[in-house]
A and B are shown apart, each in its own frame.
Chain A
Amino acid sequence: MIEAPAKEPRELNGEDSVRVELVSRAFQTRRGRVDALAGMSLHAAPREVVAVVGPSGCGKTTLLELICGLQPPDSGRVQAGPAALMPQRDLLLPWLSAIDNAGLALRARGVPREQARKAAAPWLERFGLAPFVHTRPAELSGGMRQRVSFLRTLLAGKPVLALDEPFAALDAITRQEMQGWLGHVLESEPRTVILVTHDVEEAVILGDRVIVMSPRPGHAVREIEVPLARPRKRTDPAVVELREEALTALGVQA
């Protein structure tokens, strides 16, 4: 058994939920006012994986930044436990090795380098990255980079994970692998997860619930429960059916 680093795993309690109530958020841009969100609501219980799907530019990233406390809502209420972001692009630091990138959140809190490495090492091994501990991002594959990026967010030790289209940049095969991998990791390391994606299938495979958003200004138009056991198969008729339901809610003709 691999030794778990300090602070891991953590017990989630009621404060580690996410509650977004009738939130609106607009931006002033050079081309005028852009309403990103209008009346958006969402709730995630502790340990729940809530997948948010919506058309491009529907304010999904804004939603995550509100949850992470990176910006305030114009109106409405955001209540969330401490949240760590996994950005859309991996944003790994090119000058750091995989292990030092993974430990960045710890270094950000002032943990000494050696200690951060000690915390990250067993996780890299668990994520199949043991041979690449000292490799820099430029020499890692896309899938490996996403795993390091996810680990970096996980090691922030926050109960809430805000994942912003984590696999959007990957090729189709790698993306499917990574979806299976993430589902597996979340089984053993439960967190309250808000997973933003434009991939409806990904939402149904990974989410306990799927929230479908409208085009901008974004708000929830549909909430779909996914009461299926994991791991889920793409070809499972129940998965296919829920996927069609979500697509219909998005206004896509199947």
Chain B
Amino acid sequence: MNRIRRTAPAALLLIALLGAWELYVDVKGSTFSLILPAPHQVAQALYTDRGLLWSNFLVTAEEVLLGIVVATVVGFLLAVAIHFSPTLRRAAYPLLVASQAVPVVILAPVLAFWLGFGLLPKLVVVAMVSFFSIVVTTTAGLAAVDPDLLKLMRTFDASRARTFWHIELPAALPGAFTGAKIAVAVSVIGAVFAEWNGSNSGLGYVILQALPQLKAARGMAAVVILSLFAIALFALLGLAERLALPWVYLPSGKEQTA
């Protein structure tokens, strides 16, 4: 009963939106549906093109997953380096922000020149668009450690490395997970744009091919798959966080602070 009550609003909203969309396309006529296909056409495309969509999904999924792994490792290490070096923070932060303003189209030819047309350049693009949120949230988590806790560790004669290992690292993990959750959402879009340059497979490539062929329904079907993939990754990360960091979800009602 509770479960129904919780999921009902989302389901109703989705049905209402799809209904409105279907009606809107119906009113606009069949020519318009070449630009914006109705939901039932998208559903049709999902079924008839399932083989094509699935094989290309596998390509995109690989790019996204590996890209996120690279982004997480690079982002986390960068956050730790920035945490330990205020100089590096001042030097690198403006560049990190600037890196997020670089459009993929500018980068793509250079990446193709350096890395060819395979998986590697796509992976770089995915990592580039998604590492930033991990750096920012992890750095914030590392910096948010209570200074009194660091003093306490000093009276325990803890070395800097042990203080990091026992205090700062675990304290930064919830932030790192938050960053990774933001990252998975943008990484999918990153993969699509990466496939728009020098590529002959992946859902981004499918979309790029479908639109000029007036197969908007197929493009939209690819978008549906990408969205579901992003949601699945997000949910999976949430689950992993609950398993890895159970203390974050403990009630803190009994906590007493002065």
List residues of chain A with CB under 8 Å of any chain B CB: 65, 68-70, 83-85, 87-91, 93-95, 104-105, 107-110, 136-142, 145, 156, 158, 162, 165, 168-170
Contact = CB atoms under 8 A, between A and B. Distances in A.
Contacts of A145: 256
A108 B157 contact: yes
A141 B244 CA distance: 24
Contacts of B167: 93
A91 B149 contact: yes
Interface of A is mostly: loop
Contacts of B258: 88-89, 165, 168-169
Given A95-B170, A95-B247, A136-B247, A89 B158 contact: no
A83 B156 CA distance: 9
Given A87-B148, A91-B149, A141 B254 contact: yes
Nearest to B158: A108
Interface string B128-167: 0000000000000000001011011111111000110011
Nearest to B166: A107
Given A87-B148, A138-B250, A109 B170 contact: no
B148 A89 contact: yes
Interface string B82-98: 00000000000000000
A45 B144 CA distance: 38
B256 A170 contact: yes
Contact of A156 (B156, B162, B163, B248): B156
B166 A95 contact: no
Kindly list the 7 A-B residue pairs having the minimum CB-CB distance in the complex, ordered from nearest: A108-B158, A138-B250, A108-B156, A142-B256, A105-B156, A85-B155, A169-B258
Contact of B257 (A89, A110, A138, A141): A89
Contacts of A84: 155-156
A127 B25 CA distance: 72
B213 interface: no
Contacts of B163: 108
Interface residues of B, number: 27
B155 A156 contact: yes
Given A138-B247, A139-B254, A70 B156 contact: no
Nearest to A65: B151
A95 B152 contact: no
A109 B157 contact: yes
B2 interface: no
Contacts of A95: 170, 245, 247
A170 to B, nearest CB: 7
A74 B149 CA distance: 24
Contacts of A136: 247, 250
12 contacts: A84-B156, A85-B151, A89-B258, A91-B148, A93-B149, A93-B170, A109-B157, A110-B162, A136-B247, A138-B251, A162-B155, A169-B257
A85 B151 CA distance: 8
Contacts of B257: 89, 169
Nearest to A90: B256
Interface string B215-258: 00000000000000000000000000000010110111011111
